[in-house]
Structure 1
Amino acid sequence: MLDKATVLTTLFLIVDDLMKGSAVIKDALERPGPAPQLSDSEVVTIGYCQVIV
């Protein structure tokens, strides 16, 4: 059985690779203003974790 940290790290890597590899997602997420404290990949990962746990 995998521990939560391994699942979270693996999920983040998958989400981050998919989001960075898609030109459509990159264009949709470009916005002005100060840099956020969490990346878009981190926010999506947290959302997925809330759904699956």
Structure 2
Amino acid sequence: MGKIESVIETEPGRIRIATSVVDPRGANGCEAAITAIAICKSARCSFRTKLRLGFSG
């Protein structure tokens, strides 16, 4: 199972996420792909909420 290593806001409105998922490409529904997609969806949701509420830093 992968985990988030770091999240960096590279510029306003853009983030870079580093994970321990090595290669999410593979067979349909492989565990690494499911983990990578879940991490991205969660980060996107959190970041959008942060922007909507006006938090910074």
What TM bracket, shorter-length normalisation? 0.3 to 0.5
More strand by share: 2
Calculate the TM-score normalised by the size of structure 1: 0.41
Calculate the TM-score normalised by the size of structure 2: 0.38
More helix by share: 1
The answer to which structure, 1 or 2, has the higher relative contact order (CA under 8 A, 6+ apart) is 1
